[in-house]
Amino acid sequence: MDLRTIDVARYITPLREGGSLPAIVSSSDEELFVLKFRGAGQGKKALIAELIGGELARKLGFLIPTIVFAQLDDSFGRAEPDEEIQDLLKSSAGLNLGMKYLSGAMTFDPGVTVINEMVASMIVWFDCFITNVDRTSKNTNMLIWNKELWLIDHGAALFFHHQWHSWETHATKPFTLIKDHVLLPFANKMEEANALMKEEITTALLQEIVQAIPDDWLQDAYSIESPDDLRQVYFQYLTMRLQIADQFTKEIIHAR
């Protein structure tokens, strides 16, 4: 998997609805991106979750804004008058993550947009697989753009890596927060979605995606192991989640 790397040329505006203060920026070739900062909230781990969740979703056929690596110069933001933003920019020098800005996109509203039951089931299954806590009625993290449904913001997924020592326990424990998923009421084809997703997610695909995690995001983020060892833990975690897919599919059906 070969992601493009851009140079951030201009900070345009913060998106203050995001807890980690993402921002709209332009690249050196004037493209617009939503930038997620390594110096924000959950730091590099949120970027790793965004990368794994976003690229896995894309490989499974969901619409995802183009993900890029985004290089931020250490001199960036010195003229920024807002001290909070200036501190964020200073602490985020280096490699960050960006997503193509979908100009004019509207937040998905389940009361307005009718969603296909199979698509809803696949998204609920996917979010349970990656333990994504952040696709609720309060914050759907889905957009309607060009009359199509786009998935965004997977930085809160894979929360096992915030308690690294117990990752095996997290891989197999029930994901009870799926009961709050905004699409759960529409997800009435879970058995079909489970069969399809298990077929689509291969060990080769999981290896390809975890290998894309930059060394830089894994170094200094943990007190143990090398970047390659940590990539292998992400791979093993996702493999274990896939092995219990029948189990968590039943949990989703029960939650409905």
Report in angstroms the alpha-carbon separations of 126 from 10, 119, 241, 250, 251.
34, 10, 11, 14, 13
The whole-number pLDDT of residue 189 equals 98
Full pLDDT tens readout for the chain, 256 residues: 789 999 999 998 888 665 668 999 999 999 999 999 999 877 899 999 999 999 999 999 999 999 999 999 887 766 667 788 888 888 899 999 999 999 999 999 998 999 999 999 999 999 999 999 999 999 999 999 999 999 999 999 999 988 877 888 889 999 999 999 999 999 999 999 999 999 999 999 999 999 999 999 998 645 567 899 999 999 999 999 999 999 999 999 999 9
Asked whether residue 166 falls in the same domain as residue 50, the answer is no
The pLDDT value given to residue 15: 86
Give the residue from 73, 69, 28 showing the smallest Cα distance to 51: 69
Domain containing 75 equals 5-100
Residue 124: strand, helix, or coil: helix
What is the SS3 assignment for 129? helix
Question: What's residue 79's pLDDT?
Answer: 64
What is the distance between the alpha carbons of residues 101 and 92, in angstroms, rounded to a whole number? 20
As a whole number of Å, the CA-based R_g of the chain is 18
Q: Give yes or no: residues 74 and 123 share one domain.
A: no
Name the burial class of residue 237, with classes exposed (0-12), middle (13-18) and buried (19+) by CB atoms within 10 angstroms of its CB.
buried
DSSP, collapsed to helix, strand or coil, labels residue 231 as helix
Per the DSSP assignment, residues forming a β-bridge with 63 are 150
Residue 107 pLDDT = 95
* 207 and 176 housed in the same domain: yes
Give the domain-ending residue among 67, 100, 133.
Answer: 100
pLDDT at 220: 64
- Partners of 23 in beta bridges: 14, 35
Cα gap 180→136, rounded to integer Å:
6
Same domain, 121 and 197: yes
Helix/strand/coil (H/E/C) assignment for every residue in 71-115: EECCCCCCCCCCHHHHHHHHHCCEEEEEEECCCCCEECCCCCCCC
What is the number of domains present in the chain?
2
Whether residues 80 and 115 fall in one domain: no
CA distance 248 to 241: 9
Clarify whether residues 213 and 238 are in a common domain: yes
Among the three residues 36, 65, 100, which one is the final residue of a domain in this structure?
100
